[in-house]
Amino acid sequence: MSRRCELTAKAPQVGHKVSHSNIKTKRRFLPNLVNVTFQSEALARSVRLRVSTNALKSVDHRGGLDAFLLKARDTELSPRAIEIKRQIEKKQVAKAS
């Protein structure tokens, strides 16, 4: 399981740990990832994703998982999230016609 958010593509960053004597040592800054179950209104089912806490706030702000995925770019999303996005788009087209 990679340390990458499935919705926002946040990944570990590299930086320095700086001591009091200003000695710099390489370190990694890991994203705050949590396993979350989202409800999809369009698909009428729940979806489990590993996302950052920042993405949780973004999903809530945009009005749910469906709205977030439809507005997000495919380059930021994981393959699982892209597949869910395609299913939501397919359902919306079917409802419209």
Structure confidence by residue, pLDDT tens digits, 28-56? 999 999 999 999 999 999 999 999 999 99
The answer to whether 81 and 36 are in contact (CB under 8 A) is no
Q: To which CATH superfamily is domain 13-96 assigned?
A: Ribosomal protein L28/L24 (2.30.170.40)
Closest CA to 83 of 58, 47, 52: 47
The pLDDT, as a whole number, for residue 46 is 96
In the chain, the percentage of residues whose pLDDT exceeds 70 is 99
pLDDT at 16 over 90: yes
CA–CA distance, 68 with 22 (Å, rounded to integer) = 43
Residue-range domain boundaries for the chain: 13-96
Cα distances (Å, whole numbers) of residue 81 to 18, 27, 44, 46? 37, 30, 16, 13
Q: How confident is the model at residue 2 (pLDDT cuts 50, 70, 90)?
A: confident
pTM recorded for the entire structure: 0.85
